[in-house]
Amino acid sequence: MSDSHSLLVQGRVWNFPDDNINTDLMMPQSVFAKPLQVQLRSVFATYRPGWVDAVRPGDIIVAGRNFGTGSSRPGSFLLKQIGIAAIVAETINGLFYRNCINYALPAMECPGVRELASEGDVMRINFATGSVDNLTQNITRSAPPMPEFLQAIIRAGGIRERLKAEGYL
Amino acid sequence: MGMTMAEKILARHSGQAVVRPGDIAVCEVDKIIQIDLVFSASAEMPKRISNPSKIAIILDHAIPAPTVGDADGQAIAREFARRFGIEKFYDVGRHGICHQVILENGLALPGQILTCTDSHTCASGAFNCVARGMGPLEMLQIMCTGKTWYQVAPTVKFELNGSKPGSVFGKDIFLHLAAVAGSVEGHNIEFAGSGIAGLPLDDRATLATMGAELSAEFVTFPADARAIEHLRSVTDERFEPAESDPDAEYAATYAVDLSSLRPYVAKPDFIPHNTLPVADLDEKIAIDQAFVGSCANGKLEDFRVAAQIMRGRTVAPGVRFIVTPASQKVLKEAVRRGYVETLLEAGAVVTNSTCGACYGGHMGVLGAEEVCITSSTRNFKGRMGSPSARIYMASSATVAASAVAGYISDPTPLLAESL
């Protein structure tokens, strides 16, 4: 297990292999004005019913291409709140990626990762070096590491913590 | 090696001579656009902001307020504008969908950087502006500090040549590109080619807006004479366009002969590699609702073509045809030119300007198992209402022709008859 803003994450894998999994599936428009607890219940509720109940803190999402395509709604915030500790995908939508960094949810692109893990495998990801290890099957991949500038945002706990520290909030 | 438009703009704004893909550029933001949805009782507001003259507030998603929560949020937006002295405030009556209001009022200028919390913010790339959607938290940071970071992305070039047939519009060009190139996440899109000069600004704005559906980082058009003439008519603000260098490097180039295109349609749930010519649909798809609207296609050009098709015709029995203007200004002009009356005579509903049905908010939400043909921005499952509704996407001409027929139809014959 890892602390909540760590760039070295070890956890259990959930596979989301489809391409183009979008933000509306993570956070439907119908919950925008609802309390946080209702929003958390809505995460992938129509796409993968019951999944939210099975997630444990520290789990990792392994995803396909164009993960998180869609709107600016903070689906990454909800994923972090339900306990997801990291996302590794074939490719990630840029707006969703920014939201991940800004809410201190480490995310990374790793070509070939979709074939790397079966659901339930234990994976270790080092975002600073780009190494992705499937500890269950003893397979390793490497991806471009996260830029130092973005690592610093995650280590600070996201940009809200920074704005508070700088007296803006 | 030269730079692309986006690279030049990011270099200028980060005080660097050159930036390359992969670099981090921390940039001063020129225009900060806030929409109604970011203001609510639970949203965190800053104690101080960097520069109120860079901020515009545009109410668009839930206008006029359909719920008490929306009304309360909009009251908070008004108070925020008063407290921080934000003069560019587009309240109900001056409102429109933010990207349309930006384009109409020259808020996005060539060579500038613009940010907004709506994912279709790349719309402003139609005017050579580096613009993208940001999460609400990042928008809060930009209001406070005036700056944000960009990781410079490689660029894909879409080269448009020739001139399009009369039944082909910006949306068809986009849906064709989606079939050819698929999604381009992690890349910018730059439009080029001799075909741009003949494209109306509304079609360029459609193409730039829809870049979000291919997960583009930025979409940029060159600032040509037509674009600059419009901007000079609405603003005195100085600007410096960014041209791409002849030796700029591109990750890929796709050339399109516009004269070869036909009307296109996207099938439900996603756009990349999920589009085809309307004439190639292998089944007759009956519709419950036809929708013309959104930042992408609620423009005067959309009203013009919809009215052209509907003149002397009627909406098919059992079909609801809803038309939502992209701004109050579009609505006023569509009324003045008689387009609205033509649409109403045909049995269409013309609403107030708002994001409305496009995001499943209000004024045209879909019920279970319903089928919709839309010229709006997004066809995700559940986007416009029930998760079991099916959303097809096409140009406003195809939407109007489908409203007449009762099933998804190529508009070419109706356009030819109604010239």
Token pair 């879909």: residue:
B366
Among the listed residues B298, B303, B295, B332, the one whose alpha carbon sits nearest the alpha carbon of residue B133: B295
pLDDT at A115 over 70: yes
Say how many C-beta atoms besides its own lie within 10 A of residue A100's C-beta: 28
| φ, ψ for residue A162, nearest 5 deg | -65, -45
Give the strand pairing for B88-90 and B55-58: parallel
| Interface check B215 vs A, CB under 8 A | yes
Helix%, strand%, coil% for chain A, nearest 5 = 30, 20, 45
Whole-number Å distance between alpha carbons of B88 and B86:
6
A-proximal residues of B, 9-28, CB under 8 Å:
24
CA distance A23 to chain B (A): 9
Q: Which segments of B118-242 does DSSP mark as H helices, in order?
A: 136-145, 170-181, 201-210, 225-234
Q: Which residue of A has its CA nearest to B144?
A: A168
Structure tokens at A115: 């074939």
Interface test with B, best of A46, A72, A101, A169 (most B CBs within 10 A): A72
Q: Is the dihedral of CA B390, B394, B396, B398 positive or negative?
A: negative
Question: Distance between CA atoms of A114 and A25, rounded to whole angstroms?
Answer: 20
Q: In CATH terms, is domain B266-413 a member of 3.40.50.2030?
A: no
**What SS3 class is residue A92?**
strand
Provide the token pair at B107: 């808020």
First to last CA, chain A: 31
> Is A3 a residue whose pLDDT tops 80?
no
pLDDT value at residue A4? 67
Closest to B319 in 3D by CA, of B284, B281, B371, B354:
B371
pLDDT at B33: 98
Query: How would DSSP label each residue in A50-64?
Result: THHHH--TT-EEEE-
Residue of A nearest to B46 (CA): A169
What is residue A7's predicted lDDT score, i.e. its pLDDT? 95
Mark B262-291 as b/e (b = at least 16 C-beta within 10 Å).
bbbbbbbebbbebbbbbeebeeebebbbbb
Exposure letters B167-181 (e unless 16+ CB within 10 A, then b): bbbbbbbbbbbbbeb
**pLDDT attached to residue A6:** 87
Q: Cα–Cα distance between A26 and A95 in angstroms, integer?
A: 14
The sign one gets for the Cα dihedral B263, B260, B207, B179 is: positive
What is the span of the domain harbouring residue A147?
Answer: 8-165
Q: Is the peptide bond before B413 cis (omega within 30 degrees of 0)?
A: no
Indicate yes or no: CB of B119 within 8 angstroms of CB of A94. no
For residue A74, is pLDDT > 60?
yes
- Residue in B133, B132, B110, B329 with CA at minimum distance from that of residue B227: B110
For residues B181, A76, A14, A51, the Cα torsion angle rounded to the nearest 10 degrees is -110
B151-169 average pLDDT score:
98
> Counting Cβ atoms within 10 Å, is residue B293 exposed (0-12), middle (13-18) or buried (19+)?
buried
Q: Chain B: give the shortest CA distance to residue A136, in Å.
A: 31
**What is the rounded CA–CA span in Å between residue B217 and residue B22?**
13
Please, are residues A114 and A62 in contact by the beta-carbon 8 Å criterion? yes
Q: Does residue A1 lie in a domain region?
A: no
Q: How far apart are CA A84 and CA A77, in angstroms?
A: 10
Under DSSP, the state recorded for B304 is: H
A127-136 as b/e: b if 16+ CB within 10 A: beebbbbbee
Selected residues 264-293 of chain B with any CB under 8 Å from a CB in chain A: 269-270, 272
What the block records as the tokens of B269 is 């749930």
B386 touches chain A (CB under 8 A): no
**Which residues in A lie closer than 8 A to residue B136 (C-beta atoms)?**
72, 74
Q: Averaged over A51-66, what is the pLDDT?
A: 98
CB-CB neighbors (< 8 A) of A159 in chain B: 137-138, 141
* Amino acid letter, residue A4: S
Distance to chain A for B37, nearest Cα, Å? 9
Q: How far apart are CA B123 and CA B163, in angstroms?
A: 22
CB contact under 8 A, B119 and A29: no
Question: CATH code at A12?
Answer: 3.20.19.10
CATH 3.30.499.10 segments of chain B = 5-257, 266-413
B-facing residues of A in 89-108 (CB < 8 A) are 91-95, 98-99, 102-103
Q: What is the pLDDT of residues B279-309, one digit of tens each?
A: 999 999 999 999 999 999 999 999 999 999 9
pLDDT score at A1: 39
Per-residue pLDDT tens over the stretch B308-344:
999 999 999 999 999 999 999 999 999 999 999 999 9
Lookup: tokens for B418: 């109604």
Judged by CB atoms closer than 8 Å, whether chains meet at A65 and B185 is answered as yes
Test B186 with A20 for CB contact under 8 angstroms: no
Give the strand order in the sheet containing B155-161: B219-220, B188-192, B155-161, B252-257
Rounded to the nearest angstrom, the minimum Cα separation between A26 and chain B is: 12
**Strand runs (DSSP E) across B102-164, as ranges?**
113-116, 130-133, 147-151, 155-161
Report phi then psi at B405, rounded to 5.
-80, -30
HSE at residue B331, side-chain half, CA atoms within 13 A, is 20
Model pLDDT, residue B233: 98
Structure confidence by residue, pLDDT tens digits, A97-111 = 999 999 999 999 999
The yes-or-no verdict on residue A2 having pLDDT over 50 is: no
pLDDT band at B3 (very low <50, low <70, confident <90, very high): very high
Mean pLDDT computed over every residue of chain B: 97
Measured CA to CA, the distance from residue B58 to residue B92 in angstroms comes to: 9
Q: Rounded mean pLDDT of B368-392?
A: 97
Look at residue B41 in the predicted model and tell me its pLDDT: 87
In contact, B59 and B89? CB cutoff 8 Å:
no
pLDDT confidence of B418, banded at 50, 70, 90? Answer: confident
Architecture of domain B5-257: 2-Layer Sandwich (3.30)
| Predicted complex ipTM | 0.96
Q: What is the pLDDT of residue B139?
A: 97
pLDDT tens track for B208-231? 999 999 999 999 999 999 999 999
Mean pLDDT for chain A overall = 95
Q: Is residue A19 part of a domain?
A: yes
Kindly give the pairing relationship between strand B113-116 and strand A131-134. Answer: unpaired
In one letter, which amino acid is B213? E
> How far apart are alpha carbons B104 and B58 in whole angstroms?
13
